[in-house]
Amino acid sequence: MPSDIALPATERSDKARPRFSVAGPSGFRLRVQLIWLGLFVLLVSLLYNLGLDFGLIGEKLPFMLGLRLSPDGFVQGVVLTILITVISMIVSLFVAVLTALGRLSSNALAFGVATFYASFFRGTPLLVQVLIIYLALPQFGIVLSGFSSGILALSLNYGAYLAETIRAGILSVPRGQAEAAKALGLGRGVIAFKVIAPQAMRIIIPPAGGHFISMLKDSSLVSIMGLWELNFLAQSYGRSTYHYMEMLLTAAAIYWFLSIGLELAQNRLEQRFGRGFTADRQGG
């Protein structure tokens, strides 16, 4: 059929519309979703057979979700957990970028400080760091609240890990691209944000997403300082009602759903920054 003959509108729309294929990507996603659904139903049925007190869970759930304020009028539960995690994410990213630049620097002072910091915070347990910041700093006249101490500990700990991730992402970009951009007269800022960063993000996002999910769960450690976050409430309600299993399983489910949200955000970012790379690889 000659190429200049127009197809009917219905035929054109049928050709343009992607068709479902069991063996294709859409079929694979459907199978995965069905497996998830089956495993989730199995998990729920197993938990239901434990004879849990769902009435108690429903009674305490609004407090654990942070829909009620704490006795001192501050946020609690999931809201406090998310607040601590988000602030720690932002601060840790700032610390990680500075540390990564120090690790890549030829300046002995910057390199030495960056490597010492990364070695210390990667080589000591997070719980110990939380206790040192909360209990030792007041000995030097620096008194921080439990909220600030928790954010500082999480930020410094995960900043050390994220620094290595960012450094690896920067090193994955061929040096010739920065040199070519410099030859075109582009400034350092433009090269960093328009040339290096978009390509480095493809390498940085997957491990960084894993770090942030771990940070969300490790935020439960601030409960030792009396903060009314999710883990603290789960343990408190478990002790007061003698129903530990109900409260701990509820907290675990909430952490899981929050982690799924972070995973979805991570996948979206991976798709966004991996488009050009995927297209080039398929074209090659």
pLDDT for 92-104, tens place per residue?
A: 999 999 999 999 9
**Domain interval for residue 260:** 73-272
CATH number at residue 108: 1.10.3720.10
Mean pLDDT of 18-40: 82
Mean pLDDT of 114-127: 96
Instruction: Report the alpha-carbon angle 99-223-140, nearest 5.
Output: 55
**What pLDDT is stored for residue 277 in this prediction?**
60
Q: Is residue 1 part of a domain?
A: no
**What pLDDT is stored for residue 6 in this prediction?**
52
Low-confidence winner among 9-23, 82-96, 106-120, 142-156 (lowest mean pLDDT): 9-23
Number of H helices, E strands in the chain: 13, 0
Mean pLDDT of 259-272: 93
Q: Is residue 173 part of a domain?
A: yes
CA distances from 155 to 139, 216, 221, 266 (A): 21, 12, 13, 19
Q: Is residue 7 part of a domain?
A: no
Q: Is residue 209 part of a domain?
A: yes
- Distance (Å, rounded) from C-alpha 138 to C-alpha 133? 8
Confidence of residue 191 (pLDDT cuts 50, 70, 90): confident
Tell me which DSSP letter residue 46 carries. H
Q: Please give the tally of structural domains in the chain.
A: 1
Spell out the residues 6+ positions from residue 209 whose beta carbon is closer than 8 angstroms to its own.
Answer: 262, 263, 265, 266, 269, 270
Q: Is residue 33 part of a domain?
A: no
Q: Is residue 152 part of a domain?
A: yes
Mapped onto helix, strand or coil, the DSSP state of residue 83 is helix
Q: Is residue 175 part of a domain?
A: yes
Q: Is residue 35 part of a domain?
A: no
